[in-house]
Homo-oligomer: A and B are copies of this chain.
Amino acid sequence: MNTLSYGLLSFLSRSSCSGYDLMLQIQPFWPAKHSQIYPLLAQLEKDEYVQYEHISQSDKPDKKVYSLTDKGIEALREWLSEPASDPVMRDDLYLKVFCMSLVDSNTARNLFINRLQHYQQKKLKFDNKLPQLQCMTGLPPDEIPSFDSPFFGAYLLLQKAISVNDANIKWCEWALEQIASPAAEKRDSVE
């Protein structure tokens, strides 16, 4: 039982769904391809953490809809009682920043301009998801779902994603201010 296996059980605790569906849902939280997920689901089924029902579809390919067994729920409960492991972040921008002085400031600036765009695109996505989530809760706007709400977890994680992303946007903008472009320097001295 590795972390991804628990992740799959975790999403199945919210609603039964297919391996394909799980793959799409888990992406933002624990990147994984279908080639990794399908064999794990088969193993989880063999070990009786999940069970599946074969669903015939006419318009789309048939699918296996997985759901948690009691053993699966118990496994999740035990997993939740252990503290979370330290998060792991891998970002090659960190590594590039360390040797940035090897290139001119325009090349260095481009690294931050590209990354800033990345964070801004993420911001757009989050800004769309927030009212969407609010709507699903059925609560009046600006009211926070409670611990019992099935949307509580998603709400917490969206808030985290937004605040960290905003910090990253500010960081990129600040970094770009620190790296004056040669063009800007020329402009400054002319003006």
Contacts and interface: CB of A to CB of B under 8 A. Distances in A.
Given A156-B178, A167-B167, 11 more contacts: A3-B95, A6-B92, A10-B99, A30-B94, A81-B110, A83-B115, A85-B92, A87-B93, A97-B153, A100-B152, A101-B153
A102 B29 contact: no
Given A163-B167, A171-B159, A171-B160, A80 B99 contact: yes
Given A89-B88, A171-B163, A150 B95 contact: no
Nearest to A83: B114
B9 A101 contact: no
Nearest to A114: B83
Interface of A: 3, 6-7, 9-11, 13-14, 26, 29-31, 73, 76-77, 79-81, 83-103, 105, 107-108, 110-111, 114-115, 118, 144, 146-148, 150, 152-154, 156-157, 159-160, 163-164, 166-168, 170-171, 174-175, 178-180
Contacts of A6: 92, 95
A154 B100 CA distance: 11
Given A84-B111, A88-B89, A97-B156, A102 B171 contact: no
Contacts of A95: 3, 6-7, 10, 26, 29-30
Given A147-B180, A153-B101, A178-B144, A96 B118 contact: no
Nearest to A32: B90
Contacts of A108: 80, 147
Given A92-B85, A160-B171, A164-B167, A100 B80 contact: yes
A26 B159 CA distance: 30
Contacts of A171: 156, 159-160, 163-164
A99 B14 contact: yes
